[in-house]
Amino acid sequence: MSFVGAAPSVVVDHWHLSETQFAYLFIPVIGGLVTSAFISGRMAGRFTYAQQSHLGFILALGGSALMTLLCAVIDAPPVLAQQLLITVIAFGVQLASPTLNLRMLDLFPLARGSAASVQSCVSIAISAVVFGFIAPILSGTMLSLAGGSFCFALVALGLWHLAQHGVSVSKRTLAP
């Protein structure tokens, strides 16, 4: 999430809070993640992985689209509104994550440990690029951060749909 990678800029430069008020950003993020993790566990077995993933992507895309719109329309949107939208984005990301991770592990039933290691490595590498390179570039305005968040969610959704298509094609070609 680009907002976390640009936390100093968000809290101090855009929200005009002090260096001791980072909780204004991290409590909404962590609250969204923890709440979504709990709800994801309750959804297990009641919803398909595709339904849960779609809902997560809709929330992440919707939250980031609304944040982009809010920042485009209002020069300095209220911090509370931004916090609520950041919570929605974090909630959506966390709602989709468990099902996506399990789905990826299901692709490699005989090498789940290796698959989990590669997934962790890729995730850490992506986070390093986002936090160390992309977030500082986008941190100039909240609009660019929100737009970046929307673009990342859109790319993730596109990759997920591409993977879904690729998985269904490979299953058809392998079926007798």
> What are the backbone angles phi and psi of residue 47, rounded to the nearest 5°?
-130, 150
- Between CA 109 and CA 157, with CA 56 as vertex, the angle to 5 degrees is 75
Provide Rg for the chain, Cα atoms.
18
Instruction: Please state which of the ranges 24-28, 42-46, 159-163, 172-176 shows the lowest mean pLDDT.
Output: 172-176
- d(Cα 137, Cα 133) in Å, to the nearest integer? 7
Partner residues linked to 47 by β-bridges = 44
- High-pLDDT (> 90) share of the chain, %: 60
Amino acid at position 89, single letter? I
71-95 pLDDT tens trace: 999 988 999 999 999 999 999 999 9
